[in-house]
Every structure is written in C-alpha cells, then in structure tokens.
Amino acid sequence: MSTTELRRPPFSAEATLSSYFEGERLGTVDSLHRLAYVPDDKLARLAGAVLEENWGRNRWVLRRYLAIHVGLAIRQQRYVSHDGRIVLCAGHLQTRYGTPVYLSFDKNFPEYTQPLYLQYVGDKPNVPQLPQPPDLPQWPLIPRGAEIVIAHEHILEQHQDRVAFLAKTPRVAQMCALAGAIQWSLFRDLPIRQLYLGVPSYFVPVYLQSREDITQAPDLIAPVQVQGEKLYVRTALEPYMAYAWARVVATRHDQLPHWLVISWHDRADEEDPGVVEEVEREELKSPTQFQTVSPPKS
C-alpha cells in the first residue's frame, strides 16, 4: 500500500461506511478501494478458497464482485462488528464444500487513505454471530411488446466495428435489424440479469447473422434498461464483455449461459479491466440521442 497517496481524514463515526457506496460510486471498484485496502494476497486466497473459476487477469472480475457485494452489505447493514473488526460475507461465494466465505476488515493505520483493510479471508471468522449475505436489488419485469429506444449515434457511429456486417445497410434498416433481433431474444426469454452502471437491468443477446443455435455466442449483446413501458438500449457490446457485469449477480458462474462463459474464457487472460471501465465512463458522460423503434402491431 503506497504511502504517497493523497491523505484523507482518518475514519471516524462521522464518516459512515455507507457513504463510500453512495451516488456514482455504487458498485465501482473505486468505491471499494476508497473504503478498504485489499491486498493482492488476500484476493488470491479468496480465489483459491471458493469454487474454481476464471476471474480474469489479476482477478479483476473478483474485485468488481467484491465492490458490489461489500457495498450492498454495508448499505443493508449485513455485517457484524466485533472487537474493532467488521465481518461480512464475500457475497454468495462458497467453498467447494458449500460453506460460505467471509471477509474481516480491521481499522487501517491513520496515516493511510483507506479507513479499513482486509485482514482475513476464510470460512471460520472469529465472531459470536455469523453475518448473512446481502440481498440483490429487485429486477424490473420486461413488458411484452415494449417500445425499444436505441441510442443510434452511440451504437452505430462511435462503434461501427461492432456492426461491420451492416456497414452498407441504410441507417433506418440497421436500427430495425437491431430492434428486431432484440425482440426476437426477448420473446425467447434470453435476457441475462446484470448490474450495468449500478442499475438492475439486462443483457440481451443480439443474433443478426444466424439463429440456428442459440447456445452459440451472439453477434452482439445489448444492455437493456427498463423504464416504464420502454426499453432503452444505450450501446452494443461484444459478447465476452457481458461477463463481468453478469457474474456479480449470479450465485455461481456455471449458472450463466454457456456461450457467455466460453466467450469470457477465450478473452479472460488478455482482457484489460480498463476496457470495461471505459465503457461505463463513456456511457455516463456521453450525450446520447435516442431513436424509437416501435414493435409491430398485432
């Protein structure tokens, strides 16, 4: 832990734990790092204690998982304070024998930025009462036949490489193709729950070139947010990019679609977490123009 970081006042009762996970910081790795120092060896111990899976280079998906679940546990007060320590569940992660795994945070030294540091990872925390994992937020229902609103400029102009096979198709036809492919997947119950930009929403696989085998990876995935009777599609992403956002809300990685796990494994060791974080930053700061595509009338 670097001692050259910008100093902040040491943790006190006035600076509540939940304040570190409010506003735009909710669910970001930055919010976790503002609260606690998480040593690499503790992250490696956690990865080794739970069911084996590929957490990506330097286990960055596991850090994102902890950022979501530690934040939820703090906000829902699903932790135990004992002898100056804060103990909580490592989300819904379990050992290969089905035992929950716990995290124990101690108060950090006052000269360091973060008020806490991760001191213990394991299934036997020394506390009189074990904490319970936090509840995930409620996901909105997707209304049948909802109007699809597509951020056409962001999807088709700034990321033309993702729809290169539609390059010679008129813009209106491109949007209709995307909307039709999204509707096709929605009617077959293919959406995947995820937390995109910290909001409960969905990934919808977009099959544009072939629909013969939906166990194969789609051409794109569309993050879809439900707002009333409309579905907002802000961007289109490559299939593997859904993994980090979808994994944090899945109890086990093997509960995710097979194509998503395979797509992730093909890119996990080379993927830079900055790519996913940049997608979030772009979405938050970009002025988006939406184009409405209504479903066909029955």
The overall longest dimension of the chain from CA atoms, in Å, is 66
Q: How far apart are the first and last CA of the chain?
A: 61
> What are the Cα distances from residue 68, in Å, to 137, 185, 235?
11, 27, 22
The DSSP line for 235-296 is --B-GGGGHHHHHTT-SSGGGS-HHHHHHHHHHTTT--HHHHHHHHHHHHHS----EEEPPP
Q: What is the pLDDT of residue 30?
A: 85
pTM for the whole structure? 0.84
Extents of the domains making up the chain: 17-122, 147-293
Q: What is the pLDDT of residue 20?
A: 81
Q: What is the pLDDT of residue 276?
A: 66
Q: What is the pLDDT along the chain (298 residues), one digit of tens a residue?
A: 443 333 333 444 335 888 888 765 566 788 899 899 999 999 999 999 999 999 999 999 999 999 999 999 999 999 999 998 999 999 999 999 999 999 999 999 888 888 999 999 999 999 999 999 999 999 999 998 899 998 766 676 766 777 788 888 888 888 899 999 999 999 999 999 998 666 899 999 999 989 999 999 999 999 999 999 999 998 888 899 999 999 999 999 999 999 999 999 998 887 666 666 666 666 555 544 455 555 554 4
Q: What is the pLDDT of residue 7?
A: 34
CA distance 229 to 48: 44
Q: What is the pLDDT of residue 154?
A: 64
Q: What is the pLDDT of residue 26?
A: 62
Q: What is the pLDDT of residue 11?
A: 44
